[in-house]
Amino acid sequence: MSSVFSAVGEAPVAALKTVLLLVGAATLRPKLEDLLISYETTPADVQTKFHLSRSTDLGTSTPVTPTKLTDPEGRSPTSTAGEAHSVEPTYGDDLLKFSVHQRQSYRWVPRPGHEIPIPAVALNGLGLNAVISDAVPTANATFLFTE
């Protein structure tokens, strides 16, 4: 049975800034099951366009330790995560594109059986990238995923 984990990240969302990157391993295919975005900056009339994209390189980031969500006694996650990138990951296919107003939060949940898998290839992952923003608010992102 799959275990469910959570990875949480944050970053000021200037143009082309990754908020959170989830990276699998050559030995497994994690699946993204839930995506949440919110802002912690003072509310303003700011909109940010995000892309959820496949990545083929990690870039340089602050490591984030995924947390066991459903079974605190269970195994630790194999996947890794990173936030606040100083060197951006290399992105390929854009899987989702959407805009979020700073006064709202956003949640994406796929239909059962339509979760987004990460290929079982070293250094491959999924990244939430702010493509353009009206200002530089701090965004929070949560990925819920299974392994």
Instruction: Indicate which CATH number applies to the domain containing 50.
Output: 2.60.120
The Cα 130–Cα 140 span in angstroms is: 11
Output the pLDDT for position 105. Answer: 93
Whether 71 shows a pLDDT value over 90: the answer reads no
- Structural domain tally of the chain? 1
Q: Band the pLDDT of 140: cuts 50, 70, 90.
A: very high
Q: What is the mean pLDDT of residues 115-140?
A: 93
Give the model's pLDDT for residue 34: 97
Q: Which of helix, strand or coil describes residue 39?
A: strand
Amino acid present at 16: L
Q: Is the pLDDT of residue 88 over 80?
A: yes
SS3 label, residue 56 = strand
In contact, 84 and 133? CB cutoff 8 Å: no
pLDDT score of 2: 82
Compare 136 and 63 and report the one with higher pLDDT: 63
Residue 41 domain boundaries: 4-146
pLDDT score recorded for residue 1? 59
Q: Are 90 and 18 in contact (CB under 8 A)?
A: no
Q: CA 3: distance to chain centroid?
A: 18
Q: What pLDDT digit, counting tens, does each position of 21-40 carry?
A: 999 999 999 999 999 999 99
